[in-house]
Amino acid sequence: MKPLTFLKLGGSLLTEKDKSATARHDVIRRAAAELAAARAADPGLRLLLGHGSGSFGHVPAKQNNTRAGVRSESDWAGFVEVWRQAAALNRLVMDALAEAGLRAIAFPPSAAGAARAGRLAAWNPEPLQAALQAGLLPVVYGDVVFDAEWGGTIASTEDVFVHLAAELKPAHILLAGDEEGVFAGYGGPDARLLPEFSAADMAAMGAGEAAGADVTGGMAGKVAAMFALLQGLPDCEVRIFSGLGPGNLARALAGEPLGTRLVV
């Protein structure tokens, strides 16, 4: 049995992050086609797919400060709106995967997970493992979750990956966004792509922030989450790369070293 790969399609890749609930339909369809091509080229490919919520979920989440907890009636109205918008983008992704011929099935964190004090604390992995065993493509995504202390909060795709990695032990984690990787001097005239990036590098210089509304930490939050994961799985290969280039998803899944590798 081949090792498992986690692949995230970032919200910055799938949506226009500065335009509320605006999908990049062409990118979604192309990504689905590339995943189907990768599966056809390697029928034994074992893959857990995740995607961000981009301008669908992040905009109402920021407006309602959902990440910080859900306590009042207006908070709960916002919680439901974030859930609705995240599910709307997930439906677009799932439809594109089906049109590409992939047998994909979604596992929404709002139904499968539970949090405590803002951290994803529980997830029954058995249905997801059964999907993998059956040769299906399980899909998770950034979503609201109920929280035992805060009422509710948000679980990013990286939060889900970190939690599930302890049980599923992926060999590879690929994070595809609209940036080529982690940059030194991000946003400046002398910015340069780093082929490798460590926790010590991050402490020294920071990882930069993603553009647009992002309540789950931008690039810095994503990188920090992956470094936490690598503490428990030091042999896991984690890469951040751009999914905008045609063929990049298939190339990354085939093992080509795109973007930036995170190292402990």
Model confidence at 222, in pLDDT bands (50, 70, 90)? confident
Counting Cα atoms < 13 Å in the Cβ hemisphere of 143 gives: 26
List all residues 6 or more positions away from 199 whose beta carbon is below 8 Å from its beta carbon. 227, 264
Share the mean pLDDT of the chain: 92
Place domain 4-52+90-101+124-139+157-263 in its CATH homologous superfamily. Answer: Acetylglutamate kinase-like (3.40.1160.10)
The pTM assigned to this predicted structure is 0.93
pLDDT tens string 151-197: 999 999 999 999 999 999 999 999 999 999 988 877 778 888 999 99
Pairing, β 260-263 against β 196-198? parallel
Domain residue extents for the chain: 4-52+90-101+124-139+157-263
Q: Which pLDDT does position 215 carry in this prediction? A: 39
CA-CA distances (angstroms) from residue 251 to 205, 248, 260? Answer: 30, 5, 14
pLDDT tens string 111-129: 999 999 999 999 999 999 9
| Residue range 89-114: mean pLDDT, rounded | 98
DSSP symbols for 79-132: HHHHHHHHHHHHHHHHHHHHHTT--EEE--HHHHEEEETTEEEEE--HHHHHHH
Is residue 254 scored above 60 in pLDDT?
Answer: yes
